[in-house]
Structure 1
């Protein structure tokens, strides 16, 4: 018979507590998945895979556009799920890897920040994503993309605003991670900033998500950088 403490350990949910200087604890949950998560993952699994695919992997910012239309291609697969976090991407990553895609473009993390997941865990999860893609699909080219700025002059997504220091930390760490892991880094963030470092209003309707002008800018960055070749 197993000791009681072992049985307890096996059923404890993955709830982590992050402690700040003011000695108050902020609770966060790695098991959070958006309501549409299971449905979207099931859809993704039902679609055919190809080693010629370009996978765009992320949250609602990735999910919010038809990438084939935007990039004028036929081999781009949208694997964005609204409200997803890095833990959710790790959970569904096998569906991406099994197709042995040509390229994977990753943009994830702003929802982690909004849900108080520590910056170090976000970066650690990026490292796990990279390692698993390299191990499971070694010919896949990996492109990490820096988190976009937000704009607190809007009101719709208050948990995402005023987190600029976290965004900066994660983006700086991603640049170093790209160097260490020898993967590509696309620095999107500066291109979307206004004079005050916020997400430029001409690229957004809510201070978080992109409008069509924002997606067009993103597409131009990818094309000019020859990341789609």
Structure 2
């Protein structure tokens, strides 16, 4: 009877080790310090841009960066602050440059790269709240607009 008990203990031990490893493998890691390759260069370019009164600032990632908003909307005071590959942490890091300009309106589309980099939804939402709080505190008259993210999985088909 004792050899069967030992086999049972070994089997239970293996099950525990496998289950523990599987649980550990499912732990999602994410990095709040990630910045795209041209991030520093783009931020320096934005800072060098002259301040325009009553500007409309478009803030975000590649979806924002890919458009000439001033030309598209026939608004010479529209400023593009999109950086391809950026995440919400990157926007928070460079938000002071936007706030200091006291824009009339800020249009924000950011977060899709956060999702692809496994940043949890609650962290993304917390970063959105921080953006709103900081803009409201530093530029009280600025109107804030958020765009919704596009679906990224098959459940939306």
Sort the TM-score into its range (normalised by shorter chain).
Answer: 0.7 to 0.9
Contact 1:55/1:104, CA 8 A, preserved across alignment? yes
How many angstroms does 1:144 deviate by?
Answer: 1.0
Match of 2:4 in 1: none
Deviations 1:43-63 (A, max 9, x none): 000001123100000000000
Match of 1:83 among 82, 85, 88: 85
Match of 2:103 among 98, 101, 104: 101
- How many residue pairs match? The answer is 134
TM-score using structure 2 length = 0.81
**Structure with greater helix percent:** 2
Instruction: List runs of 5+ in structure 1 lacking aligned partners.
Output: 1-21, 151-161, 166-196, 199-229
Match of 2:46 in 1: 44
Deviations 1:60-86 (A, max 9, x none): 000001011111111100000000000
Contact 1:85/1:108, CA 8 A, preserved across alignment? yes
Indicate the SS of the match to 2:79: strand
Counterparts of 1:67 and 1:61, CA distance in 2: 11
Counterparts of 2:114 and 2:67, CA distance in 1: 21
The structure showing larger relative contact order (alpha-carbon pairs under 8 Å, at least 6 residues apart) is 2
Match of 2:76 among 69, 74, 77: 74
Indicate the SS of the match to 1:29: coil
Higher Rg of the two aligned structures: 2
- Aligned pairs (5 A) from 1:1-229: 23=23, 24-150=26-152, 162=153, 197=156
TM-score using structure 1 length = 0.56
